[in-house]
Structure formats: structure tokens, C-alpha cells
Amino acid sequence: MNTNKKIEQKYELLGENPETYLKGLLHAKPISYWDYVEVDTLLSLQKPRTLFKDETIFIMYHQVTELLLKMMRHEIEQIVEEKKISEAFFIKKINRLNRYTKMLITSFDIMKDGMDYDDYNTFRTTLTPASGFQSAQFRFIELYCTRLENLVNNEGKKRLSDQPTVEEYFEHLYWKDAGTNRKTGEKTLTLKEFEERYLESLISHAEKVQDNTVEDKIKLLANPSPELQKKLREFDHLYNVEWPIVHLKTAEHYLNSKGENKAATGGSEWKKYLHPKYQQRKFFPTLWTEAEKQNWGKNENF
């Protein structure tokens, strides 16, 4: 069947008149790279708040990070939405996730070595109370990947009831420790604003993917191969240990390399919050031995 016939058949199957679409195509302008990628719009999205030149680098770095997170979310959504998942499909998607996570890790060199130290430490004060902590995509990826109980650290688990609801889990997720004084219950403005903007949609999303996370999908495979298990462990370690450690090293460079121990813009105890041994975030705990789980991130130095 030639191309014209295939086009006619396509629109006839949709109950549409092929002639109408062909006439429209006749007058359509050829697409260009800049229109397709929305280059002009993309390059206009950097709006620094100060006159320091490296603030533009800072903004673009975080925009690139958000795009990488969106790429990851795009792949994870396909895993979660797949009805009859095959191991080959799983491996292909996890390979992509590992590739994107490695890009996130290596891209931190831009943050650490790509900006003037003194300029950064000056313009960053204008960003208070904004913080990368407020990246909602990061939270959505966690919810897609694993059960809520795996996002509660050991101290948080002590505070849970025997049968916690989704809402109760959310009160004790590891990242709440970055903005909550557990003794007084007082929350930082950074956390308050984040919850006001996203908490309802995060809870709704958690309920939607309950029992259908990437972790749950693994259980549907009768006998995951060593190759798949290796890929999943790699993703878990890259995302939940290596990336936080690189982030921590970068924070150390700007906040404490001269012994000044500056506060993070979001007001968190950054040394404690960022280290994986405190976060204890694991997407696929059944793939790790008890010893590995007990020593999660403890051997990582910064």
C-alpha cells in the first residue's frame, strides 16, 4: 500500500475525511528546529534576581536538572502504566534511568566548579527561602518508585502507628525532617510553602500509585534475572546514595569549605538532611541484604 493510501486509511479509520487533512497539509508551513524545540522560549526562561553573572548559570543548571527529572519521570510512568511488563522492557527503562541519574551526578561539577565562590555566596542570600528541596518532581519520582514506608527513616518509623494512613505516612517522610523541628512541630517557611503548593497533589498521587509502584512491578516478575536485579540495585544506589553524596559535597564546598558553616537557603540542617545514612531512602529494599540496609550510606565520605 502506497503512502497516500495509508494516509487515507488512517483518517477513514478515525471517521474523518482525508481530503480535509490533505488540504490543511498543503498550506502548513514546514517545521523548523527552533519552533519544534521552542528554543526562543527556552532561552528566555532565565530571570536572575541580582547582577551577578553566575546566577544565570545557577538558574540554568537547575532548569537542566528539572528537565532530567522529567525525563526520568517519563520513563518511570511507562513502567508503572505497563499492564503486562516484560523483563526486557524493564531492563531497557532502568538502563535509561541509570543513564539519566549519572548525568545528574556528573552535572554537579557545574555547581561545584562552575561558579565564583564569593559571588555565589552573595547572590544565594537573595534566594531565601527558596530551596532545591522544593523540587516536586523529585518527590513524585520517589512516590512512583517505591512504597511510602521506604521513604520513612528509622526515627520516623518509631513515630508511626501500627496501621498508618497515607496522610500519616506523609507526616513522617524523611524529607519532612529538613523543615520540621520534631520537638516543637514548627515548620520552616520553605516547607510550609512547598506543602501549600504540592502536598495535596502528592498525597493524591501516592494514593493513585499505591500497590502499583516500580517496586510493586518487580514483584510481578516470577523470577527476576541477575541482570535486572543488578540494574535495579545500580539505580537505587546511584539515585539514593551517590547523588545525595555529590550534592552534599557541593553544599560543603559553598557552605563550609572555609569553616563558616553557613545555613542553607531553605533553613535545613543540610549536613544531616542530605546524607543518605540519615535519609535512609531505598527504593527496592528486598534487593539488599540486611547488612547492606543497616550500613546504607554509612561508608560514604564527603
Cα–Cα distance between 180 and 39 in angstroms, integer?
40
pLDDT, position 269 = 65
- 151-161 tens-digit pLDDT: 999 999 999 99
Entry pTM:
0.91
Output the DSSP codes for 64-133.
Answer: HHHHHHHHHHHHHHHHHH-SS--HHHHHHHHHHHHHHHHHHHHTHHHHHHSS-HHHHHHHGGGGTT--GG
pLDDT, position 43 = 97
pLDDT, position 265 = 62
Please report, for the chain, the start and end positions of each structural domain, with discontinuous segments joined by +: 45-114+133-147+211-294
pLDDT, position 3 = 84
pLDDT, position 258 = 63
pLDDT, position 274 = 84
With a cut of 50, list the residues of the chain below it in pLDDT.
Answer: none
pLDDT, position 139 = 97
Helix (H) or strand (E) holding 158: helix 154-159
Cell 526520568 locates to 72
